[in-house]
Structure 1
Amino acid sequence: MKASDLRPRTNDQLKEELGNLRKEAFNLRFQKASGQLQKTARARQVRRDIARIKTVLGEKQAG
């Protein structure tokens, strides 16, 4: 997911996607704790996607 893909979306769409990613991050943390996490890189990718969405939301509020 790129920031340029996120900018045309509405705030509601971004907030919905942010909620979905937070749920996924929560589930990935549980999988890691129980030793069932297969794709370890996915946790890092989800964290970065969350940060991208929060950045775009901040830009929209400031501008």
Structure 2
Amino acid sequence: MLYKDIKVKSVDELQKLIVDLKAELWTLRFRNATGSLDQSHKIKAIRKDIAKCLTELKNRELQGAK
């Protein structure tokens, strides 16, 4: 997911996206532990997407505090 796509989402959409990504990350970690995950690089990509969303939420929070 590109950062410019994240910037146009609302706060509610970002929070829902974070919840969905965390659920998907849990599923991928479980599949990786059982050995049924072929593309383990997706775990890293989802972790980065979660970080991007959290960063954007924090930036908006700081902009609102000014």
TM-score (norm 1): 0.95
Query: RCO (CA 8 Å, sep 6+): is it higher in 1 or 2?
Result: 1
Measured on the aligned residues, the alpha-carbon RMSD in Å equals 0.6
Distance 1:2 1:61 in 2: 20
Task: Using the aligned pairs only, state the percent identity.
Answer: 29
What number of residue pairs does the alignment pair up?
63
Q: Which structure 1 segments of 5+ residues have no match?
A: none
Q: Moved runs in structure 1, 4+ residues, more than 2 A?
A: none
Q: Which structure 2 segments of 5+ residues have no match?
A: none
TM-score (norm 2): 0.91
